[in-house]
Structure 1
Amino acid sequence: MASNNSHLAFQVKRCIPELVVPAKPTPHEVKKLSDIDDQESLRFLIPAIWFYRNNSSNNPSMEGKDPVKVIREALGKALVYYYPLAGRLTEDRNKKLMVDCNGQGVLFVEANAEVTFDQLGHTIQPPSPFLNEFLYNVPGSDDILGCPLILIQVTRLLCGGFILALRVNHTMCDAFGLCQFMNALAEMAKGAQHPTIPPVWKRELLNARDPPRITRIHHEFPQESTDDHHQDADLDQTNMVQFPLFLNSNQISAIRNHLPPHLRSTCTRFELLTACLWRCRTLALNLDPEEVVQISGLVNGRGKKSTKGLNLPVGYYGNAFVYPSAVSKAGVLCKKPLGYAVELVKKAKSEMDEEYIRSFADLLVIRGRHRFKITKGYLVVSDVTSAGLDKIDFGWGLPEHAGPAIGFPLISFFMKYKVGGEDGVVIPIWLPLFAVERFRQEVKKITIEAHDMYEITEGPHVRLTSML
């Protein structure tokens, strides 16, 4: 039984989970992941979700077709090309990750929910309060090694719409890589014989150099420190909640108006929202003014002039990002205007080029596989608004919403979302309970110039029960 604080309740009935294998024989081989894939911070499972209305009237060829059957069949065909995703991860003696391409398949769950799309209402925004209903955690399937790399559940709705939710092992792909696979799956669902963009493995392109050498400063990597202000900042994860922050175009413009003219016209939306989130979050946490805080923004290495030397081919679906950090003392960040934070974020982002990625891969080999800092003053943000997750069409039209289903205590995602017909960005936020209202007030203050202002979208609070 699903329920939340909006008193919506419904039954979800699932069939027995099954393994979907490639529709044709595929090579049985072992493939090594890149050193960028192999970092400790990516050894977790990330859920994503797509919500579809019943739009079959717009495409008569899909009238009467069952989305579960169509997607299940298309999955087997897509795995012929993406056959490593049907394998299992293993480690060598040095704990280097490898994929045993054994064709054992991905987990697939067929389900029916006794609810209509319209009844779900605002609950389709992240964090999804019904994620456990729309994405069943099959017992024994959630380890990093020796388990299916993808779990998919397709749930029919009473109105004829459906929900596709999946969980993917992050070491295998990033948001752009997942989108590429999902596009291939959607093309197969619509009758294609092969994907428009053939997948490319070539993970060796993002391996460390020989010999490895660190040539850049990497604040995102945890350092040994005797600084009491660092030691006392461990993140207490026992009393945290997750909630959505929605910012419409008027609010984003209001935030931009806090900047001096030279920044107002040059900073990107990603830089603006990253700086705003960093400052509001730091103010809400009420940290020691001497505490060092930082925010890391994921920067994709694909398709940029500065990373052309990486030679990443079209079709590469591995992890191809790094996360340079902006760093400041908490007191300075809170006292100075927003432009100070924007300048730091812009500077950090500008450091990302081919050499930065090479240096980061080398650092992972020299110092050991990196894991995120588990401190109050550290946050990672990922903008997936341009990844294309909202463009996946299985034949019934585009999703009403798509993207990561939740955030994590140390990771927030920027996603496209609409409220009342107004386009904007939704960001799932994790905070200690004591800081939530303070955070809301800080966001309200910085967006007060908007003429048609929404409050932060009221959605269900999700309490943290376990860490990555």
Structure 2
Amino acid sequence: MSSSSSMTLKGDYMVRPKEPTWHGCLPLFEWSLTGMISHTPIIYFYHPPPNWLISPTKIATTLKDSLSKILVQFYPLAGRLQNKGNGRFDLECNAMGVQFIEAETSSTLSDLGDFSPSSNNYCHYLFPHIDYTLPMQELPLLIVQLTKFKCGGISISLLISHIVADGQSVTHFISEWAQVARGEPLKRIPYLDRNILRGGEPCSNINDWEFEQLPRLLKNLDNSFEERKEKTTNAIIKVSKNQLEKLRKTANESWNKPSNDRGYSIYETITGHIWRSACKARGHENNQPTAIGVCVDWRSRVKPSLPKESFGNAILDVLATSLAGDLMSKPLGYASSRIREAIEKVNDEYVRSGVEYFKKQYDLTKFQDIHCIQSDDHMPFYRNPNLIVVSWLKLPIYGIDFGWGKEIYMGPGFHEELEGDSLILPSSHDDGSLLIFMCLQEVHMDAFKRHFYEGAEFEFLKGRL
């Protein structure tokens, strides 16, 4: 948005379930209490037809009414987290509601160009602000902002608690909400049973839990706060289907045959390439240890497995590790093999062992990242020399129609302070291409792009928030 744009708050409401819902505390999976303890930002842009714009309140009324109806089934989102201390929370289902904000801007959709958040600062305007210094029980688990543009276009941004819902649950909720907004019944009712996962005896191959000893910068053994607060920047990299196929071929032909006779996946290939490129861009020495956080959905990896409709956060971050010198000197397939090895160790025993491990921890805060509350001795693990790569490649993130047509753009919000964080999602063109949203320290971004594009002539989009 341009500096001359103005934003006006038109309303701030609390939307509650339309019918009485179950009240009580739902336990949270131990794994969901690790990693990101904040809200996931998502935004959709629309250009509704004239019949939706005749009444100035029609769109907002439709969204609020359908939200109230859908919360009857997705009632955990209308609850609040209750802080039990030492990084532990319960999910209190109390129907306190979801925050719904209405705003107007003097901007037009055309002012946003290609909608890339890295070339616009709309994240500061079109997303609600959350004050993470407030007690956690005062923060809504879902906040929605409807913004009307001067041209008649709209944006719908959502901030959804990552403790309560992972990507699969978020997209399940959004698609069902749109379904109800169109006057249609739910397709898939959320599964809310939390008793299916219990702890277990620790795996024999897990001694100290992986997050206990994360690689640090050898050139800066105390990982000083001064180095870590270097200014960060964001970029979006576009990888075409042809370029991706070339990378996969390179990975699968350049190293030992992958296990189970399966070629390296798109995720394993592109994540390996990101990892190698980041090591080069950061100027790592050959003996520098480095780790990459790999997000794994464990719903189908436990026995009995959880249904896809299981609502909650069923994601765990498993670490792939290596020396930077091996990543940089060996073929791409080596990096992909390290990632494959990390993913394949996530089975029923591994998941339950983690549950047991975290239950025994007195304080879970050392395993958590609250990105807006960072101190000298508590920073996200994926900062230099480490990374985390999240995939939305298999999520149904596009084609969300609330009644006025499908979106003209969908994308994530950017976190400026999450250095080393990256997100892969498919292109909305459904042509086999993908987009990588990347955050690095500013001093390393140009070098990262250069190494990433080497030999592939990758297209990319530049920009900063």
* Percent of aligned pairs sharing the same letter: 23
Say which is worse superposed, 118-127 or 81-90, in terms of deviation. 118-127
Distance in 2 (alpha carbons) for counterparts of 1:226 and 1:337: 24
Unmatched 5+ stretches in structure 1: 463-468
Aligned residue number for residue 22 of structure 1: 17
Q: How does 1:231-380 map to 2 (within 5 A)?
A: 231-233=221-223, 236-261=228-253, 266-302=263-299, 304=300, 307=301, 309-367=303-361, 368-369=363-364, 370-371=367-368, 372-373=380-381, 375-380=383-388
Alignment of 1:39-58 (within 5 A): 39=34, 41-54=35-48, 56=49
TM-score by length of 2: 0.85
**1:383-394 alignment runs, 5 A limit:** 383-394=391-402
- Counterpart for residue 154 of structure 1: 146
Q: Select the residue among 9, 12, 24 that pairs with 2:7.
A: 12
SS at match of 1:71: helix
Q: Find the aligned partners of 2:187 and 2:133 in 1 and give their Cα distance.
A: 31
Instruction: Give 2:60's aligned amino acid.
Output: V
Instruction: Evaluate the alpha carbon distance shift between residue 334 and residue 24 of structure 1 in structure 2; reply closer, same or farther with a 3 A threshold.
Output: same
Give 1:375 deviation, angstroms: 4.0
Amino acid of the structure 1 residue aligned with 2:402: F
Could you tell me how far 1:94 is from its partner in structure 2? 6.0
Whether the aligned pair in 2 keeps the contact of 1:127 and 1:244 (CA below 8 Å) is no
Inter-partner Cα distance in structure 2 for 1:366 and 1:28: 28
Q: How far 1:274 sits from its partner (Å)?
A: 0.4
**Stretches (4+) displaced over 4 A:** 62-65, 125-128, 138-143, 224-230, 232-235, 262-265
Question: Quick one: distance in 2 between partners of 1:347 and 1:335?
Answer: 19
Structure 1 segment 388-427 matched on structure 2, within 5 A: 388-407=396-415, 408-417=418-427, 424-427=433-436
The alpha carbon displacement at 1:63 in A equals: 7.7
Q: CA deviation at 1:123?
A: 2.9
Q: Does 1:170 align with 2:162?
A: yes
Match of 1:3 in 2: 2
Q: CA RMSD in A?
A: 2.9
- 1:338-365 per-position Cα deviation (integer Å, ceiling 9, x unaligned): 1211111122222222222112222222
Amino acid at match of 2:401: D
List alignment gaps of at least 5 residues for structure 2: 369-379
- Cα deviation per residue 1:141-175 (whole Å; 9 max; x = unaligned)? 96533311111001123343321101111100100
Distance 2:130 2:436 in 1: 28
CA, structure 1 residues 93+151, in 2 after alignment: closer, same or farther (shift >3 Å)? closer
Say which SS state the counterpart of residue 347 (structure 1) adopts.
Answer: helix
Q: Is the 8 Å Cα contact of residues 7 and 105 (structure 2) preserved in structure 1?
A: yes
Alignment of 1:222 onto 2:225 = no
Cα 1:257/1:230, change in 2 over 3 Å:
farther
| Distance in structure 2 (CA, Å) of the matches to 1:3 and 1:207 | 52
Are 2:452 and 1:443 aligned? yes
User: Cα distance 1:173–1:310, how it changes in 2: closer, same or farther (>3 A)?
Assistant: farther
Deviations 1:2-40, CA, capped at 9 Å, x for gaps: 437xxxx5333221321111112223222221212222x
Measure, in 2, the Cα distance between the counterparts of 1:399 and 1:416: 15
Asked if structure 2 preserves the Cα contact closer than 8 Å seen for 1:34 and 1:207, the reply is no
Alignment size in residue pairs = 439
Query: Structure 1's 142 and 339: CA in aligned 2 closer, same or farther, altered over 3 A?
Result: farther
Letter in 1 for 2:164: M
Cα 1:288/1:110, change in 2 over 3 Å:
same
Q: Which of 196, 201, 204 is equivalent to 2:195?
A: 204
Tell me, in whole angstroms, the C-alpha distance in 2 between the residues paired with 1:142 and 1:394.
33
Work out the CA distance in 2 between the residues paired with 1:94 and 1:207: 21
Residues 270-297 of structure 1 deviation map (CA, whole Å, 9 limit, x = unaligned): 1111000000011000022211011122
Distance in 1 (CA, whole Å) between partners of 2:412 and 2:352 is: 28
